[in-house]
A and B are shown apart, each in its own frame.
Chain A
Amino acid sequence: MPYPEKYRYAKSHEWLNVDGDSATVGITDYAQDSLGDIVFVELPKVGQQLEAGSTFGSVESVKAVSDLYAPVSGTVTEVNESLNSAPETINAAANDTWLIRMTVTNPDEANALLSAADYEKFVSEETGH
């Protein structure tokens, strides 16, 4: 299973790992694989307010740019600065590489996201295999 059971998933291919009233956000293995070699990550400032579904940054591979969308509403409390110099970490370990840490304003929003099994099904429908 390429998608950890304990995470929740957005259809825009971010994962959310909730821990109490805070959470980390990363991109899924499917997202990193579709993008290819990731060479650039643009992350928000600590303190930035995020609305569920709003863009909070971008990930770029050699060939493509992909916006990052907040899976839930909250405030950015930490960004993974190591990705500025080593963005390829995301390709190597998408599940273990968080981009931002945030507070979760409304836990119900997390419940509305996909489970690992549903996300996997969503991806297989989207790719047609």
Chain B
Amino acid sequence: MVDFGGWDMPVQYRGLIEEHMAVRTAVGLFDVSHMGDIQLRGPNSLAAVQRLLMNDASKLQTGQAHYSAMLYPNGTFVDDVVLHRLGDNDFLIVINAGTREKDVKWVRSVIGSMGGVHVMDVSDYYTQLAIQGPRAKETLQKLTKVDLTPIKNYWFTWGTVAGCHNVMIARTGYTAEDGFEIYIPADEPTSARVWGEVLEAGAEFGVQPCGLGARNTLRLEAAMALYGHEISETINVFEAGLGRYCKLEKGVDFVGREALVEVEKGGGPKRKLVGLEMVERGIGRDGYAVLSAAGERIGEITSGSPAPFLKKNIALAYVPAGYTEIGTEVGVEIRGQAVKAVVVPTPFYKRPKAAAQPVTAPLS
């Protein structure tokens, strides 16, 4: 067990590689209850969310979610979030564990005395379980009568799951696989029972309970950001390559917008997040220096690890603008030695497109 934002969490159950592979080829179950949840309700909740978050929440329909972030006025990250629209005037922001207190304070300070919106930290109400992998749908379907097939990626619905009523069932995740996240009542007997039922339902598909270790390697293969690594209070949206989730022209002056407009005017960020693949033997790790071909320190790895599915050693790193071209050769300093690496496209891993439905002849 390790301490993760105040939560005791297993790094692995059966073994990191086995768990990682289960998610890529079958199904894995994660306890992600450490994630926090902030609910904003009331007639001004959309206005509040629009001021608070960089993406355009007015585009969300009820039952839809998207990736977004809360920014400081200088365009760096308070946290990255997934915003769910529960109703016309009802939003749920899923936040990181380690930033929960800071986030809740931040939301309250930004929204301040704005009337018509009620902010609630509902983190302790839910146990959040993630069921991820190509067999995730079949696994979860055994525990609910809700037809999961029509739920699109980043949409959600409510239904009875494993005997719990009104469970939010979202087709979201942090693994680059198909999968669901369910929000069940947080009491321990219920959580433990549902955990057990998902494992039982997934047994025929080879389900594995997965720890923080696999959660990290899966998201790294997918080149998804992790707070405190790729994004933080010293890194802005454009440096992190998350501009596509940042809607400067949404018509609301969200916190951080002005600074980002200036960054754009100034010709874009001076450094950028890139994917690296080790060419020579060696594993670049978090915090290792990135070197130019001449051996000069130019940047730093934010996350680096062997990639269990890709069977390569990969990393995400910040490098100056002149080093971001695919194919650029760089070095990574490993125990005093420069080890060759190359800039590669991200994500490192993309899930294969679902096989087309078999074409059947019309009935008559």
User: A residues within 8 Å of B by Cβ?
Assistant: 36-37, 39-40, 42, 58, 60-63, 65, 84
Contact = CB atoms under 8 A, between A and B. Distances in A.
Nearest to B335: A58
B285 A62 contact: no
Q: Ordered nearest first, which 10 A-B pairs have the shortest CB separation?
A: A37-B17, A39-B306, A62-B16, A63-B213, A62-B306, A36-B16, A37-B16, A60-B283, A40-B283, A37-B15
Interface of B: 11-12, 15-17, 20, 213, 216-217, 281-283, 285, 305-306, 308, 313, 335
B324 to A, nearest CB: 27
B335 A36 contact: no
A88 B306 CA distance: 14
Contact of A62 (B217, B281, B335): B217
Given A36-B213, A40-B283, A63 B335 contact: no
Contacts of A61: 16
B288 to A, nearest CB: 10
A40 B306 contact: yes
12 contacts: A36-B16, A37-B17, A39-B306, A40-B281, A42-B335, A58-B335, A60-B283, A61-B16, A62-B213, A62-B305, A63-B216, A63-B305
A36 B216 CA distance: 15
Nearest to A84: B281
Contacts of A42: 281, 335
Contact of B12 (A36, A58, A60): A36
Nearest to A40: B283
A62 B308 CA distance: 8
B15 A36 contact: yes
A3 B305 CA distance: 30
A58 B285 CA distance: 14
A87 B217 CA distance: 19
Nearest to A67: B335
Given A40-B313, A60-B306, 16 more contacts: A36-B12, A36-B15, A37-B15, A37-B16, A37-B308, A39-B283, A39-B306, A40-B283, A58-B335, A60-B283, A62-B16, A62-B306, A63-B16, A63-B213, A63-B305, A65-B283
Nearest to B214: A62
Contacts of A60: 283, 306
Nearest to A88: B17
Contacts of B20: 62
Contacts of A36: 11-12, 15-16, 213
Nearest to B213: A63
A41 B15 CA distance: 19
A107 B245 CA distance: 65
A65 B231 CA distance: 24
A63 B213 CA distance: 7
B11 A63 contact: yes
A37 B16 CA distance: 7
Contacts of A84: 281
A6 B306 CA distance: 35
A38 B145 CA distance: 42
A33 B305 CA distance: 19
A92 to B, nearest CB: 12
Nearest to A55: B335
A116 B213 CA distance: 31
A53 B328 CA distance: 39
Nearest to A37: B17
B165 to A, nearest CB: 39
Contacts of B216: 63
B161 to A, nearest CB: 32
Contacts of A40: 281-283, 306, 313
Nearest to B217: A62
A4 to B, nearest CB: 24
Nearest to A60: B283
A60 B17 CA distance: 13
A39 B17 CA distance: 10
Contacts of B12: 36
A60 B282 CA distance: 10
Contacts of B285: 65
Contacts of B306: 39-40, 60, 62
Nearest to B311: A39
Nearest to A58: B335
A126 to B, nearest CB: 16
Nearest to A91: B15
Contacts of B305: 62-63
Nearest to A57: B335
